[in-house]
Structure 1
């Protein structure tokens, strides 16, 4: 390859508004693929969406409401990244390999930690609200 030839992917050639439209389209395709192919993603969406709809209306400071929404969105982000890692590992080979297992297990650990963070955040923010509600 000569110095003048691009060493980048042909998919990186779009610019401007066309790139934004393409990125949006690819993102929607990613959501569709995750929904269609990833059971864990569907389960998490079923848990996350009600929380995201309820959080803005809770009698809490704005930053607390934002934190409630942010941690559940983070959970979905980590799940999507984990699914992408698993898909790439499977694309390389469907054979069992210790490094494939390590990659998938690390991705799963990341999802677990984000789930724990979300649960702890919701508990810390909502427990005082629940205690105050049930005292009256």
Structure 2
């Protein structure tokens, strides 16, 4: 009778996503990912991994809009008070939480994108002199 392994190997993609969502270095999981709100730390303080080379560009913004639009805006359109209430009431009641949710999700989604890029080993091409 063979013994089952105690832990199964975790996919690098899941590891990278988890560490990125927690704002941690995808390489070691100990160092911080951001210097400020969305400014990626150039290098991990714990393991020295270069974090500034991942091209996260516009992807996190698109994914955040996609998530917020489907999870918040679409269900909101099915509520009758959205269509019946005054726009002067609907606008602040919906736009303020929408903006807060977007600002809350954006760094997490960006961390997840950086974690996925780390797992797939996709980095910016180094500028080489001609």
TM-score norm. by structure 1 comes to: 0.33
Bigger helix share: 1
TM-score norm. by structure 2 comes to: 0.34
